[in-house]
Amino acid sequence: MRNGRAPFIAGFLFAPVLLYVVYVLIPYVRTAYFSLTDFNGFSPEYGFVGLGNYLELLKDEVYLRAIGHNAVVLTVFPIVTILLALFFAFMLNVGGRGDKAGIRGVRGSSLYKFIFFFPQVLSIAIVAVIWRRVFQSNDGGMINAVLMSLGLVDEEKPLLFLAESDSVIPPIHLGAFTLDAPVVLICLIAVAIWGGVGFYLVLFSAAMQSIPKDIYEAATLDGATRVQTFFRVTLPLLREHVSVAWIYLGIAALDFYALVIGLTPGAGGGGPNNASEVMSSWMLTSAFRSSRYDGFAFACAMGMSIALLTMLLAGVQFRLTRSRDKLEF
């Protein structure tokens, strides 16, 4: 069996590795190559321009603003999602009353998990239709209708939500980059949090259920409150799960393409006035809706920059996690 183990393993790995090379590695290599040319996506004739497209990215005001929007999403979306998921998971698993059987979760916790997880089974198209109706900027929108019925909003001046380009914070200028948080972008982040909390709630719940109940009972006997138990017992034991969640949410924050396309105005999303533009949505617009002759190659350069930023984010997170492990060891 040992003599035939290598061919046996190679036989199982050949097909998936081949598919990975064909559909992942080769497209990445071709994208990197086209980013160094003036290829327009249609003509077989194109020239080599070197780093010209990457230098053009540093002059593209919309792209630089889109990077700022991604930075806001990368800051707010993972933090709020993880905090809410941790809070709800802790309340569902350890928030019940203690009795002779020990610490219990709240009654009906399985039902609550199903309710929180339900947005995960919806396609992004359905999510877009639902929330577009919720944020509709007239009395047909659910939020505006409720606020109008309470007399908090004038019927002639409804809240615009997805059509509002004003920033909720004063814009912060960092050289060529501008950090701002338009109302439409905050609405998109709220929808992303609504859709993401349920998955990570289930992830953290599964991790909490693997923690021995004796630890919680010992903490309770020592007089620890629920808040102290969370920060001194639960959170340290969930550190690896939180790190994994942070990486996945960070990658999702650097993408954010589907919500922008599905919910915001404009032919390629990103409206109004590029207030909700992110790197991935502007990449699509540059590739297929740009007046530039080399729009496709320019978009390839954007794609490579997004890939590099994603790998950098994952690398930094892994490095921070390893550093904490070494210090504790």
CATH number of residue 107's parent domain = 1.10.3720.10
Q: Is residue 114 part of a domain?
A: yes
Q: What token pair was written down for 196?
A: 């993401």
The most confident of 72-86, 209-223, 237-251, 256-270, by mean pLDDT: 72-86
Full residue range of the structural domain in which residue 171 is found: 73-328
Q: Is residue 18 part of a domain?
A: no
Residues with Cβ within 8 Å of residue 44, at least 6 apart in sequence: none
More confident residue, 84 or 168: 84
Residue 167 vs residues 164, 227, 261, 262: alpha-carbon distances, Å: 8, 35, 20, 21
**The length of the chain, given as a count of residues:** 329
Q: What token pair was written down for 270?
A: 């990103």
Q: Residue 300: exposed, middle, or buried by beta-carbon count in 10 A (0-12, 13-18, 19+)?
A: buried
Distance of alpha carbon 197 from the chain centroid: 11
What does DSSP assign to residue 136?
A: -
Q: Is residue 151 part of a domain?
A: yes
Please answer whether residues 238 and 208 qualify as being in contact, where contact means their C-beta atoms are separated by less than 8 angstroms.
yes
Q: Is residue 12 part of a domain?
A: no
The number of domains in the chain is 1
Residue 193 vs residues 73, 186, 187, 225, 280: alpha-carbon distances, Å: 11, 10, 10, 28, 19
Please answer whether residues 241 and 203 qualify as being in contact, where contact means their C-beta atoms are separated by less than 8 angstroms.
yes
Please answer whether residues 36 and 303 qualify as being in contact, where contact means their C-beta atoms are separated by less than 8 angstroms.
no
Maximal C-alpha separation, the chain: 80
Please answer whether residues 87 and 201 qualify as being in contact, where contact means their C-beta atoms are separated by less than 8 angstroms.
no
**What is the pLDDT confidence band of residue 192, given thresholds at 50, 70 and 90?**
very high
Q: Is residue 100 part of a domain?
A: yes
In the predicted model, what is the mean pLDDT of the chain? Answer: 84
For 280-328, how does the pLDDT look when each residue is reduced to its tens digit (9 = 90+)? 888 888 888 777 777 889 999 999 998 898 888 878 877 776 655 554 4
Q: Residue 204: exposed, middle, or buried by beta-carbon count in 10 A (0-12, 13-18, 19+)?
A: buried
> What's the rounded Cα separation, in Å, for the pair 78 and 58?
27
Q: Is residue 27 part of a domain?
A: no
Indicate if the pLDDT at residue 180 is higher than 60.
Answer: yes
Residues with Cβ within 8 Å of residue 305, at least 6 apart in sequence: 54, 57, 279
For 1-59, how does the pLDDT look when each residue is reduced to its tens digit (9 = 90+)? 456 677 777 778 888 899 999 998 999 999 999 999 988 878 788 889 888 899 988 88
Q: Is residue 92 part of a domain?
A: yes
Q: Are strands 177-179 and 172-174 parallel, antiparallel or unpaired?
A: antiparallel
Res 101: pLDDT? 46
In the block, residue with structure tokens 């589907």: 258
Residue 77 sits at the vertex; the CA angle it makes with 230 and 304, to the nearest 5 degrees, is: 130
Coil, strand or helix at 40: coil
For 88-122, how does the pLDDT look when each residue is reduced to its tens digit (9 = 90+)? 988 888 766 555 445 566 777 778 888 888 888 88
